[in-house]
Amino acid sequence: MLDNYMTLAEGNLQVRYVEGDERFANETLRKLMESFALLSEYFRLEESSLQGVRAILVPNRSEYDRLVVGLLGVDIEVPSNPGRVAQPQRTDIVFLSASAYRQHSTYYYDAAEYRRLVVHELVHVFEEHLSPDIEASPRWWSEGLAAYLSGQWKHADQFRFRQPAMDGIRLGSVPSIQEIQADVGLCYDWGWTIVMFIEHTYGRDTIGKVVRECREGNVLATLGDDPVAFEKRWREWLPKENRRF
């Protein structure tokens, strides 16, 4: 499936790419190495328990669809939405190469934003590796974790994780956790604020504990917290924390 792809590797990390994408292959590998080390520390990962992480940079939309469906086995609409530029599954991540953004996506390349995207996708790989049941993991939790740990929440960039929550907090228009859970868009917009609240309240080891122990997708039950009290405290924390966001 990857016959025409070249390989760049360092330790247990690999980038596959086609001719012309050497620059992005290098950039991706460097960022993977750096963030793999940081995330291993964050999640207190046993050394070498996560092996064979591979990023595949594809040169166009049709190749993206071929590999996401054929290699990852992920069921997506084809041709896929131009808003899609990365898809993780197990230890693989298919990226639309940044060299193809202008022609095959709704994005333009920005080095800092691209690097945060690489971290975002690697967070998904870590979560899947550590989770006892990734399929049951709620979307707000997975996307919140990825947006929070990648630092995407700090930046008003093309991926727009920050602004919706900032606007909502400013306008006093904050959805309930139930509403967030029920709406894909709200999961991306607000998930990171809940993850951040959990980390600030319980510490980072609790984030790792939830990832490792959340079996039925009930994050708040894994925290051992009363959901009503938890939501109340999160809501009160948001506008206060907002000043430091």
Binding site for Zn ion (CB under 5 A): 143, 146
- The residue among 5 and 43 lying less far from Zn ion, judged by its C-beta, is 43
- Which residue is it, tokens 């046993």? 46
- The residue among 26 and 81 lying less far from Zn ion, judged by its C-beta, is 81
In angstroms, give the least distance from the CB of 161 to Zn ion. 10
Three-state SS annotation for 8-47: EEECCEEEEECCCCHHHHHHHHHHHHHHHHHHHHHCCCCC
- The residue among 143 and 230 lying less far from Zn ion, judged by its C-beta, is 143
In angstroms, give the least distance from the CB of 155 to Zn ion. 15
- Number of continuous H segments (helices) and E segments (strands) in the chain: 11, 5
In angstroms, give the least distance from the CB of 120 to Zn ion. 6
Consecutive H or E run containing 243: none
- The residue among 146 and 214 lying less far from Zn ion, judged by its C-beta, is 146
Residue nearest to Zn ion (CB): 146
Nearest to 159 by CA among 216, 208, 194, 121: 121
In angstroms, give the least distance from the CB of 102 to Zn ion. 22
